[in-house]
Amino acid sequence: MTSKNNNKSVFKRLLPYFAPHLGRMGIVMLTMIVVTSVHLIRPMILRAIIDTAIPQKDVEMALKLAGFFIICLLFGAATLYVRVIIMARIGAEMIADIKRKLFAHILSQGMRFFDQNQSGKLITRTESDTNQLKSLFTQSSAQLFASAMLVFGTVIILFREDFRVGVFAIVSMIIVSLLLFFYLSYIRALYTKVREKGSQLNGYLTEYIQGVPLIKVHGREADIMSNMHTFNQEKATLECRAAFIEYALFSPSFRFCTEIGSIMILFAYCSTRVFEGTMTVGTLVMFIELMRQFFRPLESLVEVLAQMQTALAAGVRLFDILDTEPAVRDNGTEAPDLRLEKGIKFEDVSFAYDSEIVLKNASFSIPRGQQLAIVGASGSGKTTCINLLLRFYEPTSGCITVDGRDIASIKLLDWRRRIALVLQEIYLFPGTIMENLKAFHSNVDDETVIKAARELGAHDFIMKQPQGYQTVLAERGANLSYGERQLLSYTRAMVKDPDLLILDEATSSVDVITERELQNSMEKLMNGRTCIVIAHRLSTIRKADRILVFEKGLLMQEGDHADLMQKQGIYRELVTIQTGSEVLCEFPEIEGNDEVKGAVA
């Protein structure tokens, strides 16, 4: 996808972020003027000492000028410190503002956005690219103006004092700028390769660390280490090459060609005039001091311009995300008192991922209080129904209504507030068990949580944890068993007290024994609520009031378990391909059905 942004447009779009900080930016500009003035005044003080105080043997004047020189140094350092502190604070606040807007924008996107953007990429945009911009707000912009002011001020003084010296400074500036530009372009490309190798190495380590058990089982440690060594060696070679060019080759030669070389040329020219009596020794010293400090801001100026290009490129990537319009529009009206009174209805709903149609003209209703099961092979469209109901995606055609009202006309927050979702892949947030059960809603009291945990059978194992409900969970709840994590997800759903409960493959990853233990808790959670259950393991939905059977995006069958088992069709086929023990155990009504038992066998 071609970006609509470029460096120029990004810079314009970043300017409004400076608006709340104009007062402090004014102070920063004042400190730049002060620091630049100090740099330019010091050589003049040295000239006054050499040309006036020393020839006149005026010790008092010399001491005053020397004291003034020291005061300038201290005042310049203090002013520079103030500038750095203010810019750091401004940069931190601006980046925090951008991160908030970026993260809020990402959260506002529909699931199609996350299908098209990997989580690693979004993390990089949110963290790495915003940090690139931080250097623009804190160091680069301030350094750019400060260096430009110092170079400009130095050139003016040189021209005012001696036109030829001023021309020499301009010519030197052009030559050095060109050299720095080509050098920085080359060294940046080299460091880009270093970062690419580093990314490859990190990706390699991440991939294989996750697969350590398989590596050990297959005895591939030596091969993995060999490949890692190759990646590491390639990265180290590039790093050594870049470091040699930057620190051993370019820096010494640059210093010699600029400071030493230019000072030698300047000294050769000015010393002749000193001997002729047309220039004072103090003026020569002033010129040398000005030229000595002339190339450092010039080098910083070119380097900062290169850094700004990198930062603005990061800005382009950030604004590309911010310019991505949410596929799901939250244009509905607020409905804080929304309740499910009658039921939900799918009316000729179709949906396509890009050009692939995954749901075709689905029409069905879910009366309030009914337990509906949706079954079908992978890719049949059952999960798509849930995603559309939750408005993670918008239907390609048709509509979904609640109590006769299109859910697209309801504010997303108000609609989803009445829904609880329990997934096969359980996600527990970083934090305590209590925080997870509340889903970080501070308005929920502890008693409500504990009551729900007792009712679903989670309270006992929670109290066995080191700090009970205040136990901090490991990453993704790794310090709990799968069954315990599932119980927490059930409890979290019950604490929400939803009108609509959605169980998506909620027990398909557990063994039969654990499933039976969870079944009682799940039934308590479902009791009295409108429920939609999706399950590959058909034993979990045998008590459903109604079952919908999907195949290749089409609603093929509808009815309860007993009705569907009496018909020839997809549902009966799905049941018979379950393991014989599971079918006969979980569906005792087919014990006497020789045809089904034969199919199971």
Give the tokens for residue 62.
């010399």
- The SS3 assignment for 55 reads coil
382 part of a folded domain: yes
557 and 541 co-located in one domain: yes
335 part of a folded domain: yes
Domain boundary among 291, 309, 327: 327
What's the one-letter identity of residue 345?
Answer: K
Which residue, 551, 544, 545, 540, is CA-closest to 573? 551
Identify the pLDDT of residue 536: 66
240 and 140 co-located in one domain: no
116 and 44 co-located in one domain: yes
What's the one-letter identity of residue 522?
Answer: M
350 and 316 co-located in one domain: no
Identify the pLDDT of residue 292: 78
How far is the CA of 405 from the CAs of 361, 363, 409, 501, 534, in angstroms? 19, 16, 7, 19, 25
121 and 197 co-located in one domain: no
What residue spans of 368-510 are helical by DSSP H? 382-389, 412-416, 433-438, 446-456, 459-463, 482-496
4 and 76 co-located in one domain: yes
524 part of a folded domain: no
CATH number of the domain that residue 387 is part of: 3.40.50.300
Cα 559 from Cα 549, distance rounded (Å): 9
Backbone angles phi, psi at 22, to 5 degrees: -60, -35
Given its phi and psi angles, is residue 403 left (phi above 0), alpha (psi -120 to 50 degrees) or beta?
left
**CA-based torsion, 557, 562, 568, 572: positive or negative:** positive
Q: Domain range holding 388?
A: 329-418+502-507+530-601
Cα 482 from Cα 507, distance rounded (Å): 10
Cα 540 from Cα 508, distance rounded (Å): 9
**CA-based torsion, 273, 279, 280, 283: positive or negative:** negative
Given its phi and psi angles, is residue 564 left (phi above 0), alpha (psi -120 to 50 degrees) or beta?
alpha
30 and 157 co-located in one domain: yes
CATH number of the domain that residue 143 is part of: 1.20.1560.10
- The SS3 assignment for 502 reads strand
Taking the chain (601 residues) in consecutive chunks of 10 residues, what is each chunk's mean pLDDT? 62 78 85 87 89 87 90 89 86 84 80 69 72 72 80 87 85 79 75 70 68 70 80 82 75 70 80 84 86 76 70 77 78 84 92 86 92 87 90 90 91 88 81 84 84 88 90 80 86 88 68 65 84 77 87 90 86 72 43 40 29
| Exposure of 356 in the CB half-sphere (CA atoms within 13 A) | 7
User: For the whole model, what pTM was predicted?
Assistant: 0.64
**3-state per-residue secondary structure call for 325-390:** CCCCCCCCECCCCCCCCCEEEEEEEEEEECCEEEEEEEEEEEECCCEEEEECCCCCCHHHHHHHHC
357 part of a folded domain: yes
**The CA-based dihedral angle spanning residues 546, 552, 553, 559, taken in that order and rounded to the nearest 10 degrees:** -10
Identify the pLDDT of residue 522: 81
452 part of a folded domain: no
Cα 601 from Cα 597, distance rounded (Å): 6
320 and 225 co-located in one domain: no
407 part of a folded domain: yes
Return all residues near 27 (Cβ < 8 A) that are at least 6 apart: 82, 86
15 part of a folded domain: yes
154 and 169 co-located in one domain: no
600 part of a folded domain: yes
What's the one-letter identity of residue 181?
Answer: F
67 and 52 co-located in one domain: yes
Other residues' Cβ atoms within 10 Å of the Cβ of residue 245: 15
For residue 530, list its beta bridge partners: 500
Identify the pLDDT of residue 7: 60
347 and 258 co-located in one domain: no
* Overall domain count for the chain: 3
- Distance from chain centroid for Cα 191: 23
Q: Which long-range contacts (CB under 8 A, 24 or more apart) does 434-437 make?
A: 434/469, 434/470, 436/473, 436/477, 436/488, 436/492, 437/469, 437/488, 437/491, 437/492, 437/495
Given its phi and psi angles, is residue 384 left (phi above 0), alpha (psi -120 to 50 degrees) or beta?
alpha
Burial class (CB in 10 A: 0-12, 13-18, 19+), 129: buried
158 and 180 co-located in one domain: no
